[in-house]
Copies of this chain bind each other. A is one copy, B any other.
Amino acid sequence: LNVYFFDNCSDSQVSDFSQDRGYLFGDGFFTTGLINKGQLRHEEYHYQRLQEAAQRLCFARFQISLLKPELITRISHVEQAVVRITVTRQKNQRGYGFKPDDAINLVIQLSPLPAQVRSTCHLVFSSIPISCNPVLAGIKHLNRLDSVLASQDLTGDNQEALLCQHDNVICGSRSNLFIAYQNQWLTPDLSQAGVKGITRRRLMDLMTQENIAVKETQITQAMLLSCDAAFLTNSLWGIWPVSKIDNKIVATELSENLKLKLKFEA
């Protein structure tokens, strides 16, 4: 047990840790990406996601032009790593209240690349429902307790857990879902819950460009269980074909063909 004590009744002792609203309330947002040869891969997608989160969560001070030079300084010498970029609001008043132009904290964290995942994924339905709020849906914000608890479903052979809102599948605990269903690629509508991943966006842009139809729509558990193929996306894996959902075997051919055809990499 680490114990930290901050007496904010006296002026003498002010700690950034206890004054960060990311820590206090989850008041912030982040992105996680790959660094390769000193560059953040697909950086424009990361910047666009951060900018959109800043706008929706009223972080008026956040600007990509402030982030870029800070990031470049820290990563230009890095051969390969994972970077997490987190933006939070500084505390300037009591309680939940804030002003849109409150000062912000930027944290840049580098970690080693994770171990490679297997070539195909065993997916399970999580016992944890997804948190729903249309004003927060889509944003990679810091309120991630549903994904945290869903991680407990990753036991044995299960490599990713799928969070649902009642009967609708929304996304994996750390990924987005695509399915081939009745000759069309579908991905869940994320207007009520879930995170809009940058790899999801990148793939949808590329599919549109290549005239491969893909539709954001409601996907029920029954639709998923009768799909012709399914795969997961995130910034670390790119496209990850699903070979099993609960105990049902899923064919991976359509997923693998799509990945090859688009030459899609993380």
Chain A residues proximal to chain B, CB less than 8 Å: 1-9, 16-18, 20-27, 57-58, 61, 66, 70, 74, 78, 81, 86, 88, 90, 94-98, 103-112, 114, 128-136, 141-152, 154, 173-174
Q: What residues of B have a CB within 8 angstroms of the CB of A8 in the complex?
A: 109-112
Q: A58-B152, A131-B143 are in contact. List 17 more A-B contacts (CB 8 A).
A: A1-B103, A1-B105, A3-B108, A4-B105, A8-B109, A9-B111, A9-B112, A18-B109, A23-B86, A25-B148, A26-B26, A27-B145, A58-B149, A96-B144, A96-B147, A96-B174, A143-B145
Task: Using CB atoms, name the residue of chain B closest to A81.
Answer: B9
Hey, which chain B residues are within 8 Å of A149, CB to CB? 57-58, 135
Contact B107 A151 (CB under 8 A): no
Residue of B nearest to A78 (CB): B9
Residues on B with beta carbons closer than 8 Å to the beta carbon of A90: 2
Name the residue on B nearest A144 (C-beta).
Answer: B25
| Copies per assembly | 2
> Is A26 in contact with B112, judged by CB distance below 8 angstroms?
no
Closest 3 CB pairs of A and B: A26-B26, A143-B143, A25-B144
Selected A-B contacts with CB under 8 Å, 15 pairs:
A2-B16, A2-B106, A3-B70, A5-B108, A9-B78, A9-B81, A9-B111, A20-B23, A23-B86, A25-B148, A26-B144, A96-B173, A96-B174, A130-B133, A142-B143
